[in-house]
Amino acid sequence: MVNRKQPAILDAAHRVLVNHEVYFFGSDAAKNAFVANPRKWCGKVTDPVTRERFHPKKSSPATTYSGRLYYFRSAESREAFLAMPEMYKDPTRTMPAM
């Protein structure tokens, strides 16, 4: 996905969000190739529930929420996310005060 002769264009039209990672592309073709198979190109991502870094595999549970693709380390992590997606969509979240 990296073409040193074609620097990334830093605007929303050339951006893809996967988990809490942000990817920018230098062309529509590069972005489309990434979107067609994000696991091939994204490298490690952070599970939004456990905050563990991992390489998503074909068998990794996934979902799309608010236009963003999320991969998970386990089915349990995906279920926790689906139960309270607003809590897990923010990578800087903290535990609520009791």
**Domain ranges within the chain, ordered by starting residue:** 12-88
Cα separation of 47 and 74, whole Å? 9
The whole-number pLDDT of residue 1 equals 60
The whole-number pLDDT of residue 77 equals 97
pLDDT in tens, the chain (98 residues): 667 788 899 999 999 999 999 999 999 999 999 999 999 999 999 999 999 999 999 999 999 999 999 999 999 999 999 999 999 988 876 655 44
The whole-number pLDDT of residue 45 equals 96
